[in-house]
Amino acid sequence: MRADLGFPKDFVFGVATSAYQIEGAAFEDGRIPSQWDTFSHTPGKTYRGETGDVACDHYHRYREDVELIAGLGVSSYRFSFAWPRVLTEERKPNQKGLDFYRRLLDELDKHQIRPAATLYHWDLPQWLSDRGGWANRDTVGYFTDYAELLLRTFGDRIPQWITHNEPWCASFLSYGIGAHAPGHQDWREAVMASHHILLSHGEVVKGYRGMGLKGQIGITLNLNVTDPRTDSEADKEAARRGDGFQNRWFLDPLFRGGYPDDMREIFRPYVQDYRFIHPDDEATIATPMDFLGVNYYNRAVVYNHPADTFLQMGHVIPPAETMTAMGWEVHPNSLYRLLKRVNRDYTRLPLYITENGAAYEDTVDAEGRVHDAKRRAFVEAHLEAARQFVEEGGTLKGYYLWSLMDNFEWGFGYSKRFGIVYVDFDTQQRILKDSALWYREVARSHRS
């Protein structure tokens, strides 16, 4: 087995999770409801009505889980804080919730695992969702208060902070497409939400600087490569719209000081006017940060499709043999292309792949093993693409595999397994899949 993949010695290998997907204990120790509790408990919203009430029961099993992480030999762990766990509805700190994260950080310290913390991975407190959620500008202020509490409490012991995970999902998928909480289908709300999320990112970066903390702060975007189906001008234009929707709408304000004009025009019929973008907002969003987190799963191949009323764009369905269980095309070379593009067109800041991984149908065999050869091949090919990028002078500094363990995959409930550790959701038993055994070799030989 070729274990040392040849990354520079300071390259970070990690694993990633998020609070609502693994913690469970949804009603314990003062945690208040989030929009995902409400959404998952609403009939028809998630696969078989599954919820994150128990999930991986990580809230009670964090010690064992940190041991699992340590055993993998990775040097860093990316997790998210649950906003509804650490602040009450009266916006008072919830000590029991904070204590949980303190204990988690203690365990990570004990094993010398560097924490990378995401402030927001979609579990907006329900009471804020009731007031319009991210479509309401007031949420920006509530978010900065929440961030300040965590930065004051843990700022000196967490070296890497991610303000938001995947603003595209938290806005467009949640308020426009409606597949994620709060499940609205209103493009005005969606565009407003995207703006308020980015604005809140900028405000928190400013706050972080003001606190004089020594670590790094950035944001994680879910980016892709959008290819046209043919060389026709019409398909290329469709790909440009797809790219604007997925990538440029977020990258341009963060790194070029403003939203792209073509996308502003495309959204204009829905938003009516852009009065919700105040004069200084774009400057705030572009507040310099320390790194960019990139979540990469697949590329999109699109074509011009006038019947589609939103972007006049259709998606080509990839051949079945190239798909993961999510129906996403396996395309490692597009990770390389994406990183190249980010370095070339946007920034030479350090980049981290904050998520990459795959869902496949896993089964436990008679010996209690999970032979997930496809997942291992997926990760290996993507790491190879990443390594090529680094070798050519790219600014990539780390790779976080999504995910440490099988968990609540949002609308898909527990039906999609992304973990390198198998979770039996009846018994909460954890089993290292073959991909975990391989990743362990990679991480260990990198460290030694």
**Rounded least distance, CB 434 to ligand IFM, Å:** 20
- Ranges within 269-328 binding ligand IFM (CB under 6 A): 295
> Which of residues 18, 46, 139, 347 is near ligand IFM by CB under 6 A?
18
DSSP 31: P
**Rounded least distance, CB 163 to ligand IFM, Å:** 15
Checking DSSP bridges between strand 300-304 and strand 313-315, what pairing results, if any?
A: antiparallel
Q: Which is nearer to ligand IFM, 252 or 409 (CB)?
A: 409
Give the other-Cβ count within 10 Å of 93's Cβ: 15
* Alpha-carbon span 115 to 139, nearest angstrom: 26
Q: Which is nearer to ligand IFM, 196 or 416 (CB)?
A: 416
* Alpha-carbon span 41 to 34, nearest angstrom: 11
* Alpha-carbon span 350 to 158, nearest angstrom: 18
Q: The tokens of 445 are what?
A: 């030989």
> Which of residues 23, 123, 166, 282 is near ligand IFM by CB under 6 A?
166
Give me the catalytic one of 23, 50, 107, 166: 166
Q: Which is nearer to ligand IFM, 21 or 163 (CB)?
A: 21
424 forms beta bridges with: 429
Residue 166 appears among annotated catalytic residues: yes
**Rounded least distance, CB 18 to ligand IFM, Å:** 5
Residue 355 touching ligand IFM (CB under 6 A): yes
* Alpha-carbon span 234 to 328, nearest angstrom: 24
* Alpha-carbon dihedral 432, 437, 443, 447, rounded to 10 degrees: 110
Q: Which is nearer to ligand IFM, 57 or 166 (CB)?
A: 166
Q: Which is nearer to ligand IFM, 267 or 400 (CB)?
A: 400
Tell me how far CA of residue 71 lies from CA of 123, 331, 401, in angstroms. Answer: 29, 29, 15
Could you give the string, one character per residue 28-67, with x where binding to ligand IFM holds by CB under 6 A and - elsewhere? ----------------------------------------
Give the other-Cβ count within 10 Å of 260's Cβ: 18
Counting residues that bind ligand IFM (by CB under 6 A) gives: 8
Residue from 12, 75, 113 nearest 397 by CA: 12
* Alpha-carbon span 273 to 199, nearest angstrom: 18
**Rounded least distance, CB 20 to ligand IFM, Å:** 9
- Ranges within 417-436 binding ligand IFM (CB under 6 A): 418
Q: Which is nearer to ligand IFM, 246 or 304 (CB)?
A: 246
**Rounded least distance, CB 59 to ligand IFM, Å:** 17
Residue type, 222: N
Q: The tokens of 11 are what?
A: 């390259």
**Helices 434-447 & 373-391 angle (0-180, nearest 10):** 30
> Which of residues 62, 402, 438, 439 is near ligand IFM by CB under 6 A?
402
**Rounded least distance, CB 149 to ligand IFM, Å:** 23
Q: Which is nearer to ligand IFM, 245 or 267 (CB)?
A: 245
**Rounded least distance, CB 21 to ligand IFM, Å:** 6
CB 25 within 8 A of CB 408: no
Question: Which residue numbers are catalytic?
Answer: 166, 355
Contacts with ligand IFM by CB under 6 A lie at 18, 21, 166, 295, 355, 402, 409, 418
